[in-house]
Chains A and B, each alone.
Chain A
Amino acid sequence: GAGVSQSPSNKVTEKGKDVELRCDPISGHTALYWYRQSLGQGLEFLIYFQGNSAPDKSGLPSDRFSAERTGGSVSTLTIQRTQQEDSAVYLCASSLGSGKDEQYFGPGTRLTVT
């Protein structure tokens, strides 16, 4: 079946512009996660959705970052007024539930802020 898809695969933007990253999870997966991976670094947890709800937004790096999920499916991660330090690969993952269930990762969106 179809895996997790993300779009765009690559995004180059100028400093100060807003960007929107999209994630389509596996159908039927109720849990959705966003991570950030900077060059040569580990996976930084950003936010978790159970259904459409994200109980805790404290993992988002700054108030320029926001995320939403609609219809228990597609999620968007929005970065406003992008900065060079936002450059990274943004990974989305989904799982059937959470905790005991494996996460399936999408291919990621490589964001470059110039």
Chain B
Amino acid sequence: QQPVQSPQAVILREGEDAVINCSSSKALYSVHWYRQKHGEAPVFLMILLKGGEQKGHEKISASFNEKKQQSSLYLTASQLSYSGTYFCGTEKWNSGGSNYKLTFGKGTLLTVNP
């Protein structure tokens, strides 16, 4: 089932902060975050795993509330380079562990203006 992202779009001035939320109606084992700039391929930002483990490359922070089945991405002191569409994805494995699916939300369009 597709996770729900909010807001759908946000416009910031450089230096402002933003929070992007991702929620699911089903139990989450992990949440993946990707950013896609216009005309480019999505780029990995972070994976948040059940139990608190996180993997990511950039100086971006995020939270994962397993009980509430929600994740939030925190963008602080935004830069022009943060502009793009942010997607969260939720995993599903079959019971045998042989099949995997990552379902993405519809995305949040972030625009950072000078």
Contacts and interface: CB of A to CB of B under 8 A. Distances in A.
Given A104-B44, A107-B41, A43 B99 contact: no
Interface stretch (B13-21, B64-72, B87-95): B87-95
A45 B106 contact: no
B101 A48 contact: yes
A60 B85 CA distance: 24
A14 interface: no
A99 B43 contact: no
Contacts of A43: 42, 87, 89, 104
A100 B55 contact: yes
B22 interface: no
Interface in B20-37: 30, 32, 34
Interface residues of B, number: 27
A105 B94 contact: no
A99 B93 contact: yes
A42 B106 contact: yes
For chain A, give the interface size range.
Answer: 20 to 34
Interface string B92-114: 01100011111111110000000
A84 B103 CA distance: 24
A25 interface: no
Contacts of A100: 30, 47, 49, 55
A42 B87 contact: yes
Contacts of B34: 103
Contact of B100 (A98, A105, A108): A98
A44 B95 CA distance: 22
A36 to B, nearest CB: 11
Contacts of B94: 55-56
7 contacts: A42-B104, A42-B106, A56-B94, A99-B91, A100-B30, A100-B55, A102-B55
Given A53-B98, A106-B41, 10 more contacts: A42-B87, A42-B107, A43-B104, A44-B104, A50-B100, A56-B94, A93-B42, A99-B91, A100-B49, A105-B43
